[in-house]
Structures are given as structure tokens and as C-alpha cells.
Structure 1
């Protein structure tokens, strides 16, 4: 790879890092071609972009980025692949599901909305993170619940109140 090609790859990686808030770094070494193809398919279905990267180029892209990746560059040893997604838990769910049949991929680290997770032990917690849409849905549901209760109470009370008024008006006649 020429120096110009390397600088182009670094520029592309830096742009990708700047455009996303969810970045996972994983080790997929040792997977045969068929298994790797299955992993790529699973990533595609989950809207996760998977790419194998050179550690030195990714390190330089992280340094060139405006984001603070903390200890994440220290995980860049051995074979490295990067998983980029719009949803914070999508790559973790892909890894978790894929590991039901395989030992890899192994999570090296993740960068999600400026939070840094280093190590495979965070996989379970990361897969349980709710997406922004899920959190908004939960909040809307919580906000609607009291309003629904009030409306329901008014409807049932309104029927009782109307019945009482009707009975009282009939008694006066």
C-alpha cells in the first residue's frame, strides 16, 4: 500500500468516525471464509457496517478525529474489524447472536455516544442498551399512561354522573 493510499484510507476512516456515534472494535480472526460471509450477512441485515482495518491506520484515524476515544486505541492489537451502526446496541446483538454458534467475534471495545467500553465483558450490557427510539417510545408510553387513566375515569364517572342526574330529574316529575 502506497503512502497516498494509506492517507486516503485514514481520511475515509476519520470521516466515518466523525459521522457516527456507535463504533465497535472486534476480533474476527480465525473465522473461515464461509463463517465470515455469514457474519457479514448478519451485519448487513442488522444495518451494521463491518470492515477489517489495519490497526495503525485506525489509530491514526482516531488521533485525527475530533472525538476522544480514551483507552480504545490500546485494544488495537492483532486482527481488528470495525463495526459501525446507527443504533447503539445493534453490533452487540449481532455479536451475541453470532457467538451462539461460534467463538468469535470477540469484542475488544466500543464507543457509544462518547462512552467508552473496553473488553468483551461489556457485551451483555451493550446488547441491552436501548436505542434512542426505544427510549423515546418508553417515555411517550409513560406520559400517555396517566392521561389514559384520567380519560378512562372521566368516561366511566361521566356515565355514572349522567345516570344520577337522569334519576334525579325523573324523581322531580
Structure 2
């Protein structure tokens, strides 16, 4: 790859990083071709994009971002691939865990992640990130909590209406 091609790749990667609010860096080195293909397929099915890129090019693309991703630089060693998640911040973590469970493998290793501008480095953050709720899930919970009191009031009114109508019917039958 010549200097011009590297520059173009850095530019494309930099643009992709700025457009995608969530990305993970993982090490899938040591997996068989069959396993890598299965991992890529799983990523595709979950709406993620997986690219293998040289660490130096990833670092240069991160340097071009407005946010400070310098905490990730130490994790850019060895084999690195980037998982891009356009909408859901926890999707790559869930895919990594699902793949490990299905193939009974310790790979791919989680190196680092950026969710919006927050940086998470190290394997110990994978469980936390996989349990992190997405914006849609949080909105659903808030809406559910807001609807709950209204549903209880409506339910009480409806059940009370049945009791009143039952009492009126009973009184009417007695009167006859």
C-alpha cells in the first residue's frame, strides 16, 4: 500500500469514525478463517460493520477526531479490528459475548470502545458495556413508568364502574 492509498484509507476511516457515534476495537487474531467469517456474518446480521485496519492508521484517524481518544492508543497493539455501530452503543459488546459463547472461544478480545465521546479500555469493561441500555430501551422504560399511574387510574375507574353497575342491577332486581 503506497502513501496515497494510506492517506485515502485514513481519510475514509476518519470520516467513518466521525459519522459513527459508537465503535469498538477488538482483537480477533488467532481465530480460524471459518470463525472470522462467522464473526463477520454475525456482525452483518446485527447491523454492525467490522473492518481490520493497521493500528497506526487507526491512531492517525483517531487523531483527526474532535474528541480526545488518546486513552485508546495503548490498546492499539497486535491484531486490531474495528466494529462500527451506527445506532446502538452496546451492540458490539453483545455480539462479542454472543460469539464467544457460541464458539466457546476467548476471542475476539475486547480492547477498547468509544460510545459518543466516552472511552472504555480493557476487557473488564465488556460486561458493563453489554449490559448498558440503549437510548431506545431507556426511552421505553421512561414511557412505561409515565404510563403506569395513568393505567392504574383508568383500571380503578373501570373496575369501580363494574361494581356500581352491579349494585344498581341488584337494587333494581330487589325493587321488582
* TM-score for the superposition, normalised by structure 2: 0.90
- SS of the aligned residue for 1:43 comes to helix
Instruction: State the distance in 2 between where 1:165 and 1:99 align.
Output: 65
- For the pair 1:107 / 2:78, whether they are aligned, the reply is no
Partner of 1:13: 13
Secondary structure, aligned partner of 2:136: helix
The answer for the alignment partner of 1:88 in structure 2 is 89
Task: Give the deviation of 1:137 after TM superposition.
Answer: 1.0
Within 5 Å, which residues of 2 pair with 1:1-173?
1-85=1-85, 86-100=87-101, 101-162=104-165
CA offset at residue 2 of structure 1? 1.1
Measure the CA separation in 1 of the matches of 2:163 and 2:31: 69
Superposed CA deviations along residues 12-34 of structure 1, whole A, max 9, x for unmatched, are 01101101111100011111211
What displacement does 1:170 show? Answer: 9.1
The residue matched to 2:161 in structure 1 has which SS?
A: helix
Which SS does the other structure have where 1:29 is aligned?
A: coil
1:160 shift after superposition: 3.2
Report the 3-state secondary structure (helix = DSSP H, G, I; strand = E; otherwise coil) of the residue aligned with 1:133. Answer: helix
Normalised to the residue count of structure 1, the TM-score between the two structures is 0.91
Q: Which runs of 5+ in 1 are unaligned?
A: none
Separation in 2, partners of 1:103, 1:167? 70
Unaligned runs of 5+ in 2: none
Compute the RMSD of aligned alpha carbons: 1.9
Q: Within 1, Cα distance between the matches of 2:145 and 2:48? A: 30
User: What's the CA shift for 1:142?
Assistant: 1.0
Paired residues, number = 173
